[in-house]
Amino acid sequence: AKRQGKANYQVYSYTDSIHSYKKYNLDQDMRKAINNEEFEIFYQPQVEPISGAIYGAEALLRWNHPEWGYVSPGEFIPLAEENHLINAITDWVIEKVCAQLKNWKEKGIGLKPIAINISPTRFMKKGLAEYVKTLLSQYDISATFIELEITESTLLQNEKNVLSSLQQLRDLGIKIAIDDFGTGYSSLMSIRTFKPDIIKIDQIFTRHITSEGSVDKGIILSIIHLAKELGMTVVAEGVEEYEQLQFLLHNGCHYIQGYLFSKPLQKKDFYQILKTGS
């Protein structure tokens, strides 16, 4: 519902009010969601395009809401940013992933790196590196199995703090990926400042690779070349079609992630892949 305007009429939209009703409820319920165990982590494989070998996976959060059913992270993550629960949620994800890695390790399978999304707010809050370090030793996991994905917007925060947080994570041996690369305002600047280990090409570019007259082929080629020139690993997101895969593998993209190979999987299904793939 819009506020009453100067012209003294009300624009009242049914969908608007449904939307804010749902938003209000989600906001309230999110506070209980962690303890009620309504969150679940899915794992989407990242694979080597020629052999199909598993490189690792991205951890993607799911919320099974008791009333609303499955709520998309595209909906509740921005809400969590607003209501400040994002830090608690991010820390929960980091701990769950570490516990999961320990569990898989105890089952005797070869571990692969798991990438965790870190929102700018959590990245900027003090103590991220210490928190990760504590968990790694508590669960007896090597830092090589945790990667952190940050977006270009993280750069818009206090640069000095961003850099010192990055350095502390690097010192631990944690790899950093720039997520949604190319969609921010200062992509080259973010490479220059973050010096990421991994660049993730956003699906907006991958999607139109095969469209006639699209500039995205050129953009992807330059990102791949740029990454290789700088000794960085490049991952293409949102690969859904065989033609996209062909283009990426012919042009030397290191890894691909997308529905063509696999949707995000429940932990038991990802475990099966790890088991047969190692």
Question: Which residues are at the interface with ligand C2E (CB under 6 A)?
Answer: 44, 60-61, 72-74, 77, 90, 93, 117, 119, 179-180, 203, 237-240, 257-259, 264
Select from 100, 117, 154, 233 the one that contacts Ca ion (CB under 5 A).
117
Location of structure tokens 């950093």: 176
At 89, is the secondary structure helix, strand, or coil?
helix
Burial class (CB in 10 A: 0-12, 13-18, 19+), 226: middle
Cβ neighbours around 31 below 10 Å, total: 12
Cβ neighbours around 38 below 10 Å, total: 16
Select from 166, 179, 191, 244 the one that contacts Ca ion (CB under 5 A).
179
* Least distance in angstroms from the C-beta of 45 to ligand C2E: 10
Of 55, 133, 150, 42, nearest to 96 by C-alpha is 42
Torsion of CA 267, 272, 273, 276, to 10 degrees: 160
Of 149 and 152, the one with the shorter C-beta distance to Ca ion is 149
- The answer to whether residue 29 forms part of the interface with Ca ion (CB under 5 A) is no
Report the distance separating Cα 25 and Cα 276, nearest Å.
42
Asked if residues 47 and 261 have their Cβ atoms less than 8 Å apart, the reply is: yes
Select from 162, 180, 182, 184 the one that contacts Ca ion (CB under 5 A).
180
Q: Write b or e for each residue in 127-160: b if 16 or more Cβ atoms lie within 10 A of its Cβ, otherwise e.
A: ebbebbbebbeebebebebbbbbbbbbbbeeeee
* Least distance in angstroms from the C-beta of 205 to Ca ion: 11
CA atoms within 13 A on the CB side of 182: 22
Of 95 and 240, the one with the shorter C-beta distance to ligand C2E is 240
Residue 71 interacts with which of ligand C2E, Ca ion, none, CB < 5 to 8 Å by class? none
Of 29 and 43, the one with the shorter C-beta distance to Ca ion is 43
Residue 13 interacts with which of ligand C2E, Ca ion, none, CB < 5 to 8 Å by class? none
Segment interacting with Ca ion, rule: CB under 5 A, options 159-167, 177-185, 186-194, 253-261: 177-185
Of 5 and 74, the one with the shorter C-beta distance to ligand C2E is 74
Residues 133-152 within binding reach of Ca ion (CB under 5 A): 149
Of 8 and 84, the one with the shorter C-beta distance to ligand C2E is 84
Residues that bind Ca ion (CB under 5 A): 117, 149, 179-180
